[in-house]
């Protein structure tokens, strides 16, 4: 993290940066450009499982996307969600966007990793939920838990439990997320 004397980078300046090489990418966290390495294999496995499992909401007017770029606030934020649930109405609007408009997905899922620390995810959760995200999920593969934060509660789910997705009467089972891991 940079010191207080460092200038903040705006979204307009951020989008002018050259793409990094070697499978890495940039994100903009509170006005600070962060280089993010590619995900490790187990991280990808968890993302793919969640992508598949969360598709239970597709019949309710939502789509499920992996590595979803979004801009939760106009000036100093640009993130990628490991997995996101996005309403079909927003998807229809995105067709005509020439650039990323300020928007946060209905559900953001992040898998804990070397670059997805609890501190970073805490900032991302606040930025996302302050700008429209209804649920933020934090997946901890080591502990085999899923922490779900919504507008009124934060709860950690573990073995033998199920999680209702966005209050839509669609559920995923925690054991299935971590099977074989």
Which pTM value belongs to this model? 0.90
Alpha helices in 32-164 (DSSP H): 41-54, 88-94, 118-129
**CATH class as words, domain 39-178:** alpha beta
Domain ranges of the chain: 39-178
Angle at 51 between CA 77 and CA 177, to 5 degrees: 110
Whole-angstrom CA distances from 129 to 71, 73, 107, 132 are: 12, 11, 9, 5
pLDDT per residue over 105-138, tens digit each?
999 999 998 877 888 888 999 999 999 999 999 9
Q: What is the pLDDT of residues 4-33, one digit of tens each?
A: 557 899 999 999 999 888 878 999 999 999
Q: What pLDDT digit, counting tens, does each position of 24-61 carry?
A: 899 999 999 999 888 899 999 999 999 999 999 999 99
Instruction: Using alpha carbons, select from 35, 129, 124 the residue that is nearest to residue 82.
Output: 124
């Amino acid at each position: 993290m940079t010191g207080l004397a460092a200038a903040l980078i705006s979204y307009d300046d951020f989008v002018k940066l050259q793409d990094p090489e070697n499978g890495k990418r940039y994100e903009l966290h509170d006005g600070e450009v962060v280089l993010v390495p590619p995900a490790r294999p187990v991280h990808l496995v968890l993302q793919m499982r969640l992508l598949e499992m969360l598709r239970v909401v597709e019949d309710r007017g939502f789509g499920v996307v992996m590595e979803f770029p979004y801009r939760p606030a106009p000036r100093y934020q640009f993130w990628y969600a490991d997995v996101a649930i996005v309403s079909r109405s927003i998807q229809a609007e995105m067709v005509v966007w020439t650039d990323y408009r300020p928007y946060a997905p209905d559900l953001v899922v992040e898998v804990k990793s070397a670059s997805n620390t609890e501190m970073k995810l805490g900032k991302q959760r606040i930025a996302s939920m302050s700008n429209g995200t209804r649920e933020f999920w934090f997946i901890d593969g080591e502990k085999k838990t899923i922490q779900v934060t919504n507008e009124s509660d934060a709860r950690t789910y573990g073995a033998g439990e199920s999680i209702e997705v966005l209050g839509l009467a669609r559920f995923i089972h925690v054991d299935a997320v971590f099977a074989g891991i």
